[in-house]
Chain A
Amino acid sequence: MKLIILIISFSLLFAQENEMSVKDIIKAMDKNLNAKSRVLTSKMVVHGRRSSRTIESKNWVVGIDQAFTEYLSPPREAGTKMLKINDKLWTYSPQADRVIQISGHMLRQSVMGSDMSYNDMMEDRPLEEMYDAKLMGSAELNGRDHWVMVLEAKIKGLAYHKRKAWIDKEYLLPIKEELYAKSGKLLKTSTMTDVKKIQGRWFPSRFNFKDELKRNSKGTEWVIDDIQFDIHIPKSRFSKALLRK
């Protein structure tokens, strides 16, 4: 009798854990990946057919609506700045000394010839708000346990209709993601490596984005050199006037 009660209790417990887990996993992922604000210095390594380019930048981000990026190197890109407010993006090029507004389609275009779009860089709305998630099971990836989850868009206007994510059970991060078109065609893959504990959360130091439609593409690496979460960023940081300074 005791054994039966124990089995029933365990199965109930697991059933509840499984039912809750999808939401919890998504929430935990969002908690790890999103913050009220962050300041980071990063390098984007764009691998071309013959050579690679490294672009260094500093970013200030508040929530999901405000972001400011300043490119530090190479000299050709140094001084280029980008300001994002809601769904609008302004870029400033010191060579042309002009501010250009980018919106709509352009946000889905590649950033400086990389495999990342402006949207890939800036889309940090919580996944919970954007996708319906379905747990497909577990899988081992690089010797670590992962949940495999399929996320389908529940709102309109998202760049990717469907994503398949491999979520590390310990880090609660989507270590590998496949991004699909509406038709089901695989468009991009992204991977995360060098996960570190920063300010009480697991966060990757290295991302790799790869446009799967390009043949022989080595993708684009995004390396986070330094990141600070939830620090105060003055409102003036997100003013258009700062683009020209």
Chain B
Amino acid sequence: MLLKIALKNLLGARLRTFLNVLVTAFSFYLILFTSAMYDGMLQHAKQVTMDTEIAGGAYWHPEYDPLDPMTFEEAHSVPPSAIQALIDENKAFPVLVSQASIYPGGRIMPTIMKGIPPNQRIVNMPTDALLGHEDIAIPVLIGKGMASESKLEVGDAFTIRWLDTDLTYDADEGTVVHIMDTENFKLDMGHIWIPLNKVQSMLAMEGEATYVTYGKGVQPVQDKGDWIPRDINYLVQDMEAIIEADKPGAQILYLILLAMAAMGIFNAQVLSIFRRGREIGTLMAIGMTRPRVVGLFTLEGGLNAVLSAAVTLIVFGPILWYFGAYGIPLPIDYSEMGLIIAKRLIPVYTIGLVVSTTILVSIIVLIVSYIPSRRIAKMKPTDALRGKVMA
């Protein structure tokens, strides 16, 4: 009965209802879209990092901190036997890390030199490009970003200077054998990749490694010595932190939109109570209790949320689907800013996201519908019939 009256009243309001529903639906859509975009970014970053860098996880030398190049000097040793066994079974591969300076075009550039087995198949990196260059003193693989920063091209030679295990300077000529196009800036910016055995001999660290990356599905080893296991969640936490830090900006935007929609509904409710005094009085006079009248007006407001959800589905649904299927092309390369962001961003809509957004929007709409309706409870039917509304 109440629902029927509420629906009739709502549809009767025409333009006012249409505007309220449209603004709420737009807020609904925007919250859904931005949240899905952040989820998409995170999932993409995780996927790219897993695919190109961390695979199933890694074991780090206890001194290794990738954010502190000063630790590289001490962060190397022969991996513990159980980890070495994984390497021997081709379930893992070792990487040796060191600081170095390169002189492309005679300019000095500090860099991180990493030794990687060229025949590894665990991460998606074109390391096989380092194979078959016996005529080259040091074959080097670099990323597109590094190539652009150092102005190096395939075939270019440049001097690499490093310090060996005894901290004695050594230098030789490196030649770029391949430039990789990777979305993972951590493999690209400031990095040069060289065959592992070459780096081990350059640094006089035979058989040593800084970290060992293992493949997906490889069981954790027990005898890992003092090496530290790092799982996927640990290795993507910096990425999560960057995205989390960016979220408040978007949240403010959709809070403003939601506030606009809420204000529209609130305003409509206040107006209804002033303008529909006689109607309230009549309803009370024919026996409708005050709580039921309050319920009717709250329901009218609350139905806005239902209509908004329907409008979002009908009007914005195809747009959301299109972005979800084809993604949004990004005009700039974010890797230079230190972010793993796809060149085409694909939002990810989860059931949890849709349900939580619907509940959030509905609760806000119900609250702003209920607050003005409370006044009805204080009204006398005689005053209401005369069109007199208590302030």
A interface residues (Cβ-Cβ under 8 A, vs B): 104-106, 108, 153, 156-161, 181-183, 185, 187, 211, 213-217
Contact B171 A187, beta carbon cutoff 8 Å: yes
Question: Do A160 and B168 contact each other (CB < 8 Å), given the known contacts A105-B73, A181-B161?
Answer: yes
State which of B99, B159, B167 has its C-beta within 8 Å of the C-beta of A213: B159
**Chain A residues whose CB sits within 8 angstroms of the CB of B159 once the complex forms:** 185, 213
**Chain B residues whose CB sits within 8 angstroms of the CB of A185 once the complex forms:** 159, 170-172
Question: Do A106 and B171 contact each other (CB < 8 Å), given the known contacts A214-B107, A215-B106?
Answer: no
User: Please, how many angstroms separate the alpha-carbon atoms of A187 and B168 in the complex?
Assistant: 12
**Chain A residues whose CB sits within 8 angstroms of the CB of B74 once the complex forms:** 104
Contact B169 A108, beta carbon cutoff 8 Å: yes
Interface residues of B in 136-176 (CB under 8 A from A): 159, 161, 163-164, 166-172
State which of B103, B105, B106, B167 has its C-beta within 8 Å of the C-beta of A108: B167
User: Please, how many angstroms separate the alpha-carbon atoms of A213 and B167 in the complex?
Assistant: 18
Contact B107 A215, beta carbon cutoff 8 Å: yes
B108 in contact (CB, < 8 A): yes
Q: Mark contacts of B51-80 with chain A using CB atoms, 8 A cut-off: 1 yes-contact digit, 0 otherwise.
A: 000000000000000000110111000000
**Chain A residues whose CB sits within 8 angstroms of the CB of B107 once the complex forms:** 214-215
Contact B70 A104, beta carbon cutoff 8 Å: yes
Give 7 A-B pairs besides A105-B73, A156-B168, A161-B168 with Cβ atoms closer than 8 angstroms: A157-B166, A158-B168, A160-B168, A161-B170, A185-B159, A187-B169, A214-B107
Q: Is the interface of A mostly helix, strand, loop or mixed?
A: loop
Please count the residue pairs between chain A and chain B whose beta carbons lie under 8 angstroms apart in the complex: 68
User: Please, how many angstroms separate the alpha-carbon atoms of A106 and B101 in the complex?
Assistant: 12
Q: How far is the CB of A109 from chain B (nearest CB, A)?
A: 9
Contact B70 A182, beta carbon cutoff 8 Å: no
**Chain A residues whose CB sits within 8 angstroms of the CB of B164 once the complex forms:** 182
**Chain B residues whose CB sits within 8 angstroms of the CB of A213 once the complex forms:** 101, 103, 106, 108, 159, 161, 171
Residue of A160, A161, A183 ringed by the most chain B CB atoms within 10 A: A183
Contact B168 A153, beta carbon cutoff 8 Å: yes
State which of B103, B106, B169 has its C-beta within 8 Å of the C-beta of A160: B169
Contact B70 A106, beta carbon cutoff 8 Å: yes
Q: How far is the CB of B350 from chain A (nearest CB, A)?
A: 45
Interchain residue pairs with CB less than 8 A apart (10): A105-B69, A106-B70, A156-B166, A157-B166, A159-B167, A181-B169, A181-B170, A187-B161, A213-B159, A217-B106
**Chain A residues whose CB sits within 8 angstroms of the CB of B169 once the complex forms:** 108, 159-161, 181-182, 187
User: Please, how many angstroms separate the alpha-carbon atoms of A108 and B73 in the complex?
Assistant: 12
User: Please, how many angstroms separate the alpha-carbon atoms of A182 and B106 in the complex?
Assistant: 20
Contact A104 B167, beta carbon cutoff 8 Å: yes
User: Please, how many angstroms separate the alpha-carbon atoms of A104 and B163 in the complex?
Assistant: 10
Q: How far is the CB of B200 from chain A (nearest CB, A)?
A: 15
From B170, which residue of chain A is reached at the shortest CB distance? Answer: A182
Contact B106 A159, beta carbon cutoff 8 Å: no
Contact B103 A214, beta carbon cutoff 8 Å: yes
**Chain B residues whose CB sits within 8 angstroms of the CB of A106 once the complex forms:** 70
**Chain B residues whose CB sits within 8 angstroms of the CB of A157 once the complex forms:** 166-168
From B161, which residue of chain A is reached at the shortest CB distance? Answer: A213
**Chain B residues whose CB sits within 8 angstroms of the CB of A214 once the complex forms:** 103, 106-108
**Chain A residues whose CB sits within 8 angstroms of the CB of B73 once the complex forms:** 104-105
User: Please, how many angstroms separate the alpha-carbon atoms of A157 and B105 in the complex?
Assistant: 30
Q: How far is the CB of A133 from chain B (nearest CB, A)?
A: 18
Q: How far is the CB of A242 from chain B (nearest CB, A)?
A: 24
**Chain B residues whose CB sits within 8 angstroms of the CB of A160 once the complex forms:** 168-169
Contact B172 A211, beta carbon cutoff 8 Å: no
User: Please, how many angstroms separate the alpha-carbon atoms of A130 and B107 in the complex?
Assistant: 31
Q: How far is the CB of B341 from chain A (nearest CB, A)?
A: 32
Q: How far is the CB of A122 from chain B (nearest CB, A)?
A: 14
User: Please, how many angstroms separate the alpha-carbon atoms of A153 and B164 in the complex?
Assistant: 14
State which of B72, B106, B163 has its C-beta within 8 Å of the C-beta of A216: B106
Contact B108 A108, beta carbon cutoff 8 Å: no
From B160, which residue of chain A is reached at the shortest CB distance? Answer: A213
Interface residues of B in 167-224 (CB under 8 A from A): 167-172
